[in-house]
Chains A and B, each alone.
Chain A
Amino acid sequence: MGFGDAIERSDWDGARKADALRLCGAMRACLDRPDYAPDPNCIYKNLDSDRLVPDAPLPARPASRQELLRTLLDAGPPEGEELKTEVGKFCHSHKMQGPEDPAARQRVLGRAWGFDRLWQVYAKTRRLDPNNPGPLNDAIRLLSLEKQREHLSEVPLAEHVMWSFYDPRDQANPFASFAGGRAELVDRLGLGEYSSRSHTVIKWGHCLPESVTPTTPTAWDGGVNRPYWLAGGRTLPLSAAAARDTTNGLPEVVHCPVTGSQFAIRIAVVSD
């Protein structure tokens, strides 16, 4: 498993195999994140080691490593930033291809997000003043679960693919195993982008309608910009990132965005 095996198992001739090997080296370099101390090379490693991604094309499975390499080789191959861009484009066009996670259907899923992110989606949906988040503040502070569900019934709870998690031991409450506040939530869910306290973090629980399928994220979902994540279907706690240890993480799924009509636990600001 991995790019080496993908090349070895291909029917490409020697020259193309040599090009593909060089390409892997270039890819490793361009995806490097020197600013991410636990593992600067984590993005390439995710693409190289995700067990859900096959080496060669297989029916009804996520796109393969061979397909990525072939796409890049046929395109030139590009170099540097261009190469990163092309890998990113490939990831974008192969999202939500992981296996369905039936357990996620039975459970209340949890999500933590930046207050300002939800506000921007909310303001855009309703054409409100984006610089005045008072209406969302009031909806969070003053409304009951039922009222939040009704008031936000047309507001999408994510902009792109939606990432959610659940607690395998508590069907109704994804936050059941959280004892602390913001720091614990950010750590266990691997929300590195919210490490800085300048962001207000909110959380809620939601259920999925029949029409939405939860799948285990693959390296293609992780994309080329995501250092706080490890392939394997569980969140990667920031404090355990160096050891690539997800034992304290929680099962994670990706799915199409749902709206506030799916709330099962009311939105709340995560306090310290």
Chain B
Amino acid sequence: MDKRLLDAPKDELKDFLRGRFQMRGRWAADTGTRESEFPDDLPLELWGAANEGLRRRIIQATRELIAEVPGEGWTAEAVDWLASFVGRAEIFEVTGDLQTAVEHGVWLNAPDDGVRCHTAALWALLGLGWKGTPEFWRQLSQPVRARYPALALRGLLASSSLADAFDWLPILLCDEAAVHQVLDVLSSLTRRVGTEVVREHLRAVRLRLSSEVRAKLDEWFEAYGWGSLAVRWEPAPPEARAPLRFAPALAER
């Protein structure tokens, strides 16, 4: 890391962060591509080494960069790295800025893949512990939830009960591709609440899924070794069965 950055004023830090996230100019030139150095690796290293004063300057620089989106050079890829940095560094001070951007749909109007930019902000917000409300996540526009169903489910899980979040699953699982994204969230969930609980919640909504999605979910649930989702019907033992009763009118005949 260039030691000069430790004393850099806010505007130079802004140049540095912008250069890294947009991967252009002098600040991106020494990115180690064979080692797959990520654009936010060096900013994170700087954040980790920063004293209080430097952190304040980085926070201010980051807030100003958030306000720059969507502007020149802020491709969806660059916005992703800005969001990644905010989430990985846990810069809680920018929560309000991101929230404003989301609520006004500012990033959604970005010329380069607005949906991706908008979800980058939501992704960072969830990383910062912001939960939103169940209504907020349910009202995500169809293009957003269709492309990033895992994000919508994560938001619902953060802001509502398990049962309420799963109740929305048939809306999110609109096609087979969505199953893959949702499986990743289920994978995390099985670790948190156990496979049995996840299975029971899925069974509760399973019949509301389209037959293709249901088959896909069944197949993959088993592929992960989490057991079967299908409920096999078995007749109850004779002693447990209620005696047959005819309606009175029929019995009289």
Contacts and interface: CB of A to CB of B under 8 A. Distances in A.
A126 B181 contact: yes
A135 interface: yes
Contacts, number: 114
Chain A interface extent, by class: 35 or more
Contact of B36 (A82, A117, A139): A117
A128 B185 contact: yes
A126 B148 contact: yes
Contact of A151 (B31, B34, B180): B180
Contacts of A82: 26
Given A124-B80, A134-B188, A160 B122 contact: no
B189 to A, nearest CB: 9
A215 to B, nearest CB: 14
Contacts of B166: none
Given A128-B154, A130-B88, A132-B188, A160 B127 contact: no
Contacts of B148: 126-127
Contacts of B84: 120, 124, 130
A151 to B, nearest CB: 6
Contacts of B4: 81
Nearest to A146: B223
Interface string B16-43: 0000000001111111111111100000
B135 interface: no
Interface in A206-227: 221-226
B26 A89 contact: yes
B30 A95 contact: no
Nearest to A87: B29
A129 B188 contact: yes
Nearest to A143: B223
B150 interface: yes
A232 to B, nearest CB: 15
Interface string A83-101: 0111111011001000000
Interface secondary structure of B, over-half rule: helix
A95 B223 CA distance: 40
Chain B interface extent, by class: 35 or more
Contacts of B188: 128-129, 132, 134-135
B28 A92 contact: yes
A127 B126 CA distance: 10
A159 interface: yes
A106 interface: no
Contacts of A248: none
A161 interface: yes
B224 A142 contact: yes
B191 interface: yes
Interface in A230-271: none
A166 interface: no
Interface string B154-189: 100000000000000000000000001101110110
A229 interface: yes
Interface in B32-61: 32-38
A127 B187 contact: no
Nearest to A144: B223
A193 B35 contact: yes
A135 B226 CA distance: 13
B215 to A, nearest CB: 14
Contact of B34 (A131, A134, A144, A222): A222
Interface of A: 81-82, 84-89, 91-92, 95, 113-114, 117, 120, 124, 126-132, 134-135, 138-139, 142-144, 147, 150-151, 158-161, 163, 193, 221-226, 229
The 3 closest A-B pairs by CB, nearest first: A88-B29, A135-B184, A160-B33
Given A159-B33, A225-B32, A229-B34, 11 more contacts: A81-B4, A85-B29, A86-B26, A120-B38, A128-B188, A134-B188, A159-B38, A163-B34, A223-B30, A223-B33, A225-B35
23 contacts: A85-B29, A88-B30, A89-B25, A89-B26, A89-B28, A91-B29, A92-B29, A120-B38, A127-B119, A127-B122, A127-B148, A128-B184, A129-B126, A129-B154, A130-B127, A139-B187, A144-B223, A150-B180, A158-B36, A161-B33, A221-B33, A225-B31, A225-B32
